[in-house]
Structure 1
Amino acid sequence: MPVVRVERRLAAIMAADIVAYSRLIEADEARTLASIRTLRSQVVDPLIADHRGRVAKLMGDGAIVEFGSVVEAVACAVAMQEGTAAHQREVPPENRIVFRIGINVGDVVVEDGDLLGDGVNIAARLEALAEPGGICIADAVQKQLAGKTDFAFEDTGERKLKNIAHPVRVWCWSKGSAPPAAGAPLSLPDRPSIAVLPFDNLSGQPEETYFSDGITEDIVTGLAHFRSLFVIARNSSFAFRGKSIEMAEIGRRLGVSYLLEGSVRRAGARVRITAQLIEAATGAHLWAERYDRSLDDIFAVQDEVAQTIVSTLVGRIEDAMLQQSLRRPTTSLAAYDCLLRGLAHFRNDTETANQQAREMFEKAVALDERYAVARSYSAFVKVAQNGHAAAPAEVLDAAYTEAKHALELDPLESRCHRILSTICLYRREYDMAEQHLRRAFDLNPNDTDGLIMKGRLLAFRGRPEDALVSLEAACRLNPLRPGWYDAHFGIALYSLRRFAEAAQAFKRMPLSGSWSSARLAACYAQLERTAEAQAAVAEVLRLRPDFSTAEYMRKSVLLEHAEDRELLREGLIKAGLPA
């Protein structure tokens, strides 16, 4: 029998898909198809040609495009999203064409011009993970981008993709997660300001990145304890990972005077940490140091780095304050390692992430029963697994007991106060929630999550204008804020009857669930945008066929004042959600 040779080649594959295509077609088929044709001819096709791409497959709602270069594929994808947004700016929101895009690089099978194989399948699965207007790329793509573009992709961890045997590490881009665009610089704060860039993982094992990230984050946390410093939040500085951007430009975009960069090399029982403090405007190196230590000394190294920076920037700080603010969280490296792994899982949005985080937090507590932060997160993740504010009373009670015990173990740990505050809020104990949140803020005034929680609590307690002040302050500390911040903006804006702005905030949330879709439906109903309200209601009922406004208000709504609750209930009912 003749041997059939299969044509294979290495390619960068872009999978693009139109969001809500079926709804658009159902609403107005002729208009939608005409709009897609115009968009293709004026934006998409020219960009693909400019970046030397080839359309391998064209469907009504999307396309598979082949590129010979990862850089060209990603540059084309970003240009496509930005060009499409500009092209559709004047189109009513309910009629806009919006893409999701996924990019993979790998071996593909070529058959009659079409592309087949896992390389293509993974690109399609990544596209499904992207938010509307966003891009998701595989880790193999991110590695080839390093140092070649200014595009900022955020590491979202490993994902289990449908019908793909092995998990894939996924990086995501959206206009909300990219580094601030070059434009007017942020004004410098009236105190020394610093951003800690993600320390490079030099261990030779990509899976060890969680460890170098954890070291970086602990230095951020140590610095953030000092009121005399203005410290940029972790995810804003991490957006510059692997980007060839001048230090002065990073400082300008983040609005800080100083930058800290470094690396971590972990080998056996030893670790080498390098760190250097840079004046952003001039690029001058103010201080540099290398630490070769046993892993058992890792906490001492973190303390030493943070203390040296503080003394360099601020001058003399009382030793007692240093010792209070930079305490060792645990004496067990294994427990610390489990905490870092747990936090890495906890920041993901996969179905299994909370369970994986819970296992790591519980393991950390088993290794060190007095590890207060791990115990606090262990309490909170169980609440998250059970619906946050909608968690059953017995779950909230057990979490409260565990989080209170964690605080007794370390009453000066701001995160323990912050987590206990949230659990008290879910238990509708508003005064106690505010008391613990105030204490958390006193202990760590640069904790952006704490500021966001303060804004959230103020909104729930009927002070939405004050809430916006806290929320905006958090966004200054965290210019590349995560999408879940927008939920709290939406809550405050809705109570202020700024329904259009509230709708935009809820729409910016990276994950659309029944909670946010219900809020969006209420906004549209108050604006009398009937079609959009109906679409949001349909999404709620698709996700929760048994949805009831009364049950939603009872379980998931934390508004303390009757008038705020009634305004929301009115919007939900007006939108057409079941009473």
Structure 2
Amino acid sequence: MQLAFGDYVLDSGRRELKRNSEQIALEPQVFDLLLFLVQNRDRVVTKDDLIAAVWNGRIVSDSTLTTRINAARKAVGDSGGRQILIKTYARKGIRFVGDVRSDTPGAGSAEPPEQVQEMPPALLPQGQAESSVGTASARVTSRAALDWGGKPTVAVLPFNNMSGDQEQEYFSDGITEDIITALSKYRSLVVIARNSSFAFKGAADVRQVGLSLGAEYLVKGSVRKIGQRLRITVQLVETEEGHHLWADRYDRDLQDLFKLQDEITTTIAARIEPEVGAAERLRVDRKAVPELHAWDFFRLGTKHFYKSTAADNLEAQRLFRRAIELDRSLAEAYGFLSYAIVLSMVYFDAEPNEERLNEAVVIGKRGVEHDDQDGLIRFMYGRALLAQKAYGDALAELETAIDLNPCLAVSYCGLGDSLTYEGRISEAIPYFQKAIDLSPYDPLRWAFYSYRALAHIFAQEFDLAADWAQRATRVPNAHYWAFSHRVSALGHLEYAEDLRVAIGELLQRKPDFTCRFARKRLFYVKNPEQLELYIEGLRRAGIPE
């Protein structure tokens, strides 16, 4: 039987794929997979369908399945990004969507494949179906995999031991395993299991390793111990083109080895996730609109979310709502939508009212209901609760967020901010510093500085408040509240020259800023003494009522 589509002819009898009479070499499993998809093109094929047909129901890792799907796409001139012929349906399966011409009727049913060939032992990761970190997020997969809805896939390769002492191998392996564990706490990522990554220990061609594992991003590095000094280098590589997205070096004194290992792995994990997120936002921005799926609309929404303007906030809300329409269980979209609604009242032009606040809380809670193990979603729900002045509930959510993901910088900032409104400022300051240390290049780092400045104002530490507010104003896309905090602090200090400049910068960004406006937008501050202290600083600075 011959099945033709475009310039291609798939011959099941000869087990051949040709394009314009030129034969294309295919591994037996790739041929069987492609034939099964074409024969069953009238429906979405699940992962279990493929395993039953191509592997006779044997246990197969997601990476093996992904590799075969990628190979089938490549053979017919398709890719995971384009999906012209082989299309992924998030959390459902894949389907061949090209127009097919058949020389025999009844092509809708599949026949069993004639032969099966396992992945060559040299490329077969050990323990493929296992996850040594104990979470579903740590299974091997990629964007083309069936179960992950387009989430980016990261593999952490074993760090090289550069110490010249094989007895130190345990430490470099330990660093690698801890980074895998830390990254698996980010629910926006799919992390390759430890056993699969370690099967490629010492491999020279890291790009080929990434393709074999089905990972779009690779983390690699080295550990060198000399005396009582330790140097760890780490790189983040985009697999498809081999581009280096980020690299850093960490030099430390060896004291408490386990404490040092925890510090390093937490810091590295906190840096990797934002870099992957930024790369994903750029990738989605380049895709044509008809190709976008729920996760793509979500990622486009985050791109606008982080721009921190009124127009971008509204566009982000629209895109998050569209993502939810396409996937009612996409927990991340609920979380970001909830937080975007809160910020529209605090930072932008939306009227702070009970209806909006209730909507933000309801949507945030729905996100938690869909995934109560995502630290970022718990953080965003906590911020919605804080906006309703439910400080106790907000603190509980933020503490849970940190328990779920100790690497998530925004949760520490949110916890510090919530403690500030409770008057527990001495407890709050270390949390702000922890957020800054964890994610020094975070797209929202201006908020880390700005909320810390507000805490110092409430503590009547006006010099510190002015300093931290000024740091916030130097970050690109810093909001006008950072400039307002600086004006309030300087108003209490009565620094006339600095005030003249600070007021000019504030009014340049918000010409209609008044004390009344500030009072209205600080609706979430429950303590009247805190609010009056802030407004008094604005009055002394000369901001009109």
- TM-score, structure 1 length as denominator? 0.44
Structure whose residues are more often strand by fraction: 1
Greater Rg by CA: 2
- TM-score, structure 2 length as denominator? 0.47
